[in-house]
């Protein structure tokens, strides 16, 4: 396959540029991705999914600001851009081009089964609306664009939250159908989810997500971070009462940041009746100790957008060095060829 001559395993993930990075993004995607980027046996690809942002966000300023914040976040957290390819989706014109080739190899029925799409239809029906009310073709075809992101670089492994597993299955389906039609072109990618961190609960106990408005922003100043952690919902059990860690959001968040030994100790403290206040204080200290040094680097980067832009341009150049010859091969494979 021309797209990967070195044959090293490839890890790839993207973050949609619609919001301010929160602890859920950090734990579920950014942290494992940066760890993988240090592993010499992998090649890693990380990108800002700004085309995906257009599906759900119609505020241009917000998309722009979010792109800046997310890029600064990855750099502040120590992404090594000399080893991994770090780029903005919209800088790679080959991606929307591949999206069309894939769209023509995607069964509409496959998209009909998308959880995100079906949930919207169900909401519309419950509200007595037309089933397609408010559903754009961007939303409907979202999984095809995501498949193009992944297949463009023939990624083997895609670190994502559990909610994205279906999108990975769809990417595999689409790749397999394309391969069947046009010869072996694409690696079939797999989702990589870590059992401790796949989804982090938010302050209300549901999955931490900007759509639930229950997030803890990653770069809160220390005092605000503590305040936000203190607001995580618990039950009304008193100090001294044994508590069940597996029922507690605070424990789930703690577990995502803690070492194995720290997790075991905290589980013991739960059965010994630690107070919620004390759990939260320990959680704050754990999270803050991990984030305080990167927080300073983040502040510096946010104030130097030209530096970020330069990094992204270099990343785009390296990504296109792969994407350009590969899209040429794919165009040829489907019959779009020069006439002479």
**Is residue 323 close enough to count as binding ligand TRP by CB under 6 A?**
no
Alpha carbon separation from 82 to 40, 78, 299 (Å, rounded): 12, 11, 22
One residue of 3, 10, 11, 14 binding ligand TRP per CB under 6 A: 14
Pick between residue 178 and residue 276 the one whose CB is nearest to ligand TRP: 178
**According to CB under 6 A, which one of 27, 101, 160, 200 is a site residue for ligand TRP?**
160
Measured distance between the N- and C-terminal CA atoms of the chain, rounded to whole angstroms = 25
Site for ligand TRP in 43-62 (CB under 6 A): 49, 52
Q: Name the token pair of 142.
A: 């979202």
Which residue number, 168 or 279, has a Cβ lying nearer to ligand TRP? 168
Closest CA to 153 of 334, 325, 338, 339: 325
Q: For residues 169 and 171, what is the distance between their CA atoms, to the nearest angstrom?
A: 5
Q: Tell whether residue 156 is a contact of ligand TRP (CB under 6 A).
A: no
- Longest Cα–Cα distance in the chain: 82
Residue 117 phi/psi, 5° resolution? -65, -45
User: Which of residues 150 and 330 has its CB atom nearest to ligand TRP in the complex?
Assistant: 150
User: 240 Cβ partners below 8 Å, 6+ apart?
Assistant: 273, 275
Interaction between residue 66 and ligand TRP (CB under 6 A): no
Which window, 6-14, 64-72, 117-125, 130-138, contacts ligand TRP (CB under 6 A)? 6-14
Residue 227: its H or E element: helix 222-230
Residue 93 vs 300, nearer CB to ligand TRP: 93
CB under 6 A: which stretch of 143-151, 213-221, 244-252, 322-330 binds ligand TRP?
Answer: 143-151
17, 114, 164, 282: which one contacts ligand TRP (CB under 6 A)?
164
Q: Which residue has the tokens 């949930």?
A: 119
Pick from 50, 94, 149, 311 the residue near ligand TRP by CB under 6 A. 149
SS3 for 323?
A: helix
| 157/282 with CB nearer ligand TRP | 157
Cα–Cα distance between 138 and 7 in angstroms, integer? Answer: 33
Q: Which residues bind ligand TRP (CB under 6 A)?
A: 12-14, 16, 49, 52, 146, 149-150, 158, 160, 164, 167
């Amino acid at each position: 396959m021309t797209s990967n001559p070195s044959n090293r395993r490839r890890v790839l993930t993207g973050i949609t540029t619609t919001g301010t990075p929160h602890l859920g993004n950090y734990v579920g995607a950014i942290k494992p991705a940066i760890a993988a980027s240090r592993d010499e046996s992998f090649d890693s690809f990380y990108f800002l999914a700004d085309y995906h942002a257009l599906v759900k966000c119609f505020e241009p300023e917000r998309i722009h600001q979010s792109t800046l914040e997310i890029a600064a976040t990855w750099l502040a957290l120590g992404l090594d851009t000399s080893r991994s390819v770090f780029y903005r989706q919209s800088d790679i014109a080959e991606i929307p081009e591949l999206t069309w080739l894939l769209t023509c190899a995607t069964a509409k029925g496959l998209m009909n089964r998308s959880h995100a799409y079906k949930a919207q239809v169900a909401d519309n029906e419950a509200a007595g609306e037309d089933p397609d009310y408010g559903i754009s073709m961007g939303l409907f075809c979202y999984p095809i664009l995501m498949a193009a992101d992944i297949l463009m670089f023939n990624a083997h492994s895609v670190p994502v939250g559990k909610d994205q597993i279906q999108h990975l299955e769809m990417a595999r389906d689409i790749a397999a159908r394309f391969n069947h039609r046009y010869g072996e072109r694409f690696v079939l990618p797999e989702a990589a989810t870590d059992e401790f961190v796949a989804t982090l609960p938010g302050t209300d106990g549901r999955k931490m997500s900007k759509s639930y408005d229950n997030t803890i922003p990653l770069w809160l100043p220390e005092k605000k971070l503590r305040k936000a952690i203190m607001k995580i919902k618990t039950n009304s059990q008193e100090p001294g009462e044994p508590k069940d860690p597996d029922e507690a959001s605070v424990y789930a968040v703690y577990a995502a940041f803690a070492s194995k030994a720290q997790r075991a100790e905290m589980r013991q403290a739960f059965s010994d009746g630690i107070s919620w206040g004390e759990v939260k204080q320990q959680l704050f200290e754990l999270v803050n100790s991990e984030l305080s040094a990167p927080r300073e680097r983040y502040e510096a980067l946010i104030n130097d957008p030209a530096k970020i832009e330069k990094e992204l341009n270099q990343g785009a150049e390296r990504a296109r060095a792969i994407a350009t010859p590969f899209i040429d091969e794919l165009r040829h494979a489907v019959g779009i060829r020069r006439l002479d």
